[in-house]
Structure 1
Amino acid sequence: MTDAPEELASLISQCRRAVVFTGAGISTESGIPDFRSPGGVWSKMKPIYFQDFVSSREQRTEAWNRVFNNPAGWTGAKPNDGHHAVADLVQMGKVSSVITQNVDNLHQASGVADDRVIEVHGNASYARCLQCSKRYELEDLKPRWEAGEDITCVFCTGLVKTAVISFGQAMPEDEMNRAMEEAALSDLFIVLGSSLVVYPAAELPVIAKRTGATVVIVNRDETDHDSYADLVLHTEIGPLMKQTVARVY
């Protein structure tokens, strides 16, 4: 019986077009807590719904306090071996795109080009105007937060919010369409650290399977999708992927 890194490396080596789909589990090894586990983000603080952010100055103040105090740990962390292994596979031409539910920017920080990362839940490392989509860097907004401002766009006066997709906020249509297209075009779809419970993103491995892809799920715990996956590995992502990349030919 082959070991897990060898088996996964064999699938990657033989595929034509692999897609990697990542969830919170790949970033826990960088010290970022996941959302739903005991001690996770939502056990420490309640989510702020999009409609509450838009309608309540108090909720916007709380949201910006969380951004700059960083209780979720989304910013400032460093990529781990799992992120670097995925970046290596992209650079080797084995992985065509990285679809991620994470908002921590760690795939880009590990060296994956922006145009290869599809962020279906947004990005916590910068902000955008909700009206005109003007991008703002967080460091440029920090003095306005420190001054107690209700942060609005200097161009159109629309509300400015981090680029994270909040509960109740519409999913980014272009990114989801691209993610579904990538899933359908793949012949190998590798899930790394997603519980596969949040839809519509959790539908992506199903799309890949239906269009003929081999599906691999690497996650600490079982998922509802394990039954149709071709390979399921309950193990740490970083060590597995580092060893896997070393075996890819």
Structure 2
Amino acid sequence: MRMRPTLSWTPAEDLPPGTTDLEPVAEALGAGGVLVLSGAGISTESGIPDYRGEGGSLSRHTPMTYQEFTAEGRARRRYWARSHLGWRTFGRARPNAGHRAVAAFERHGLLAGVITQNVDRLHQAAGTGNVVELHGSLDRVVCLSCRTLSPRRELARRLEEANPGFAPVAAGINPDGDADLTDEQVGDFRVLPCTACGGVLKPDVVFFGEAVPPRRVAQCRDLVREADSLLVLGSSLTVMSGLRFVRQAALAGKPVLIINQGPTRGDRHARTRVELSLGAALTALAQRLGVPVEGRAVGTAGD
């Protein structure tokens, strides 16, 4: 009987520390067939904060859960007021050197695809084409009743008209585009229904407590199966939605390489973890491989 492969367990204290040696990553990229799994850390240089990094927003902010959003009208008012304000900043974010390097690797045929845990569309704005948005995108809105999708910019325009003069000063912006506002600042912010059926509108993103659509997970698993190696960029891999693909690659004997500032939950499965800022590391990799990186982005996150 054939034994099913298992993952070895290494105690956290026995894991090697991060390195600054990019050679293993350069070798994998040079061979091609690399699947990128990106997290919030790749967007911090674009001004979008991380959840769990140094000074991460989870230390001061509790994200809205799906259960709370769907159960309480007051919670939806609070969410949409904060998200509407945050969108003004979030939608103006520009791709950084890390996003542009990933796009350059794709143009030169080195990538098997990109799975991103981010909802900011900065990979696409930099020019990357084959991107699976694991957690959805803030630039789309979905009706929970009729499932109609619509552009976020259309809802933003409607909310501006319905809430003239709404311009409180936020204490900060979070990775999900949610601004930090007090209940007093939210006030009687007016929430708008779906124009098609009058149902409840929600950003087309996976909230905390909500499952990633099974078809999307299957698409990502197919990408892992077809790839030669997996490169994690800027993710602590704390949640299973991303970690499962690291485990899948490791079980299949495929090299897992990580570039992240700080330990990750996937370190025990990785051949190396490079402890460098992503913009500098990916730019250096592009130079080492002779891959020119375009300096101008295709658009902004809100395009």
> If the length of structure 1 is used for normalisation, what is the TM-score?
0.90
The answer as to 2:293 corresponding to 1:248 is: no
Amino acid at match of 2:221: M
The answer as to 2:194 corresponding to 1:153 is: yes
Match of 1:65 in 2: 81
1:206: Cα distance to partner?
A: 1.2
The answer as to 2:135 corresponding to 1:121 is: yes
Distance across 1 between alignment mates of 2:88 and 2:40: 12
Distance across 1 between alignment mates of 2:25 and 2:141: 37
1:53–1:216 distance in 2 versus 1, CA, 3 Å = same
How many residues align? The count is 244
Amino acid at match of 1:244: L
- Deviations 1:155-205, CA, capped at 9 Å, x for gaps: 232211111211122212221111111112211100001101111321111
Distance across 1 between alignment mates of 2:286 and 2:53: 29
Residue in structure 1 matching 2:205, options 146, 151, 164: 164
Residue in structure 2 matching 1:4, options 21, 26, 44: 21
Distance across 2 between alignment mates of 1:79 and 1:203: 27
Match of 1:209 in 2: 250
1:228–1:139 distance in 2 versus 1, CA, 3 Å = closer
SS in 2 for 1:190: strand
The answer as to 2:154 corresponding to 1:130 is: no
The answer as to 2:44 corresponding to 1:28 is: yes
| 8 Å contact kept, 1:6–1:247 | no
Larger radius of gyration: 2
Higher relative contact order (CA 8 A, sep 6+): 2
1:71: Cα distance to partner?
A: 8.0
SS in 2 for 1:191: strand
1:46–1:232 distance in 2 versus 1, CA, 3 Å = closer
Match of 2:232 in 1: 191
1:43–1:72 distance in 2 versus 1, CA, 3 Å = farther
Distance across 2 between alignment mates of 1:43 and 1:75: 24
1:183–1:73 distance in 2 versus 1, CA, 3 Å = farther
The answer as to 2:111 corresponding to 1:95 is: yes
Residue segments in structure 1 that go unaligned for 5+ positions in a row: none
Distance across 2 between alignment mates of 1:13 and 1:7: 10
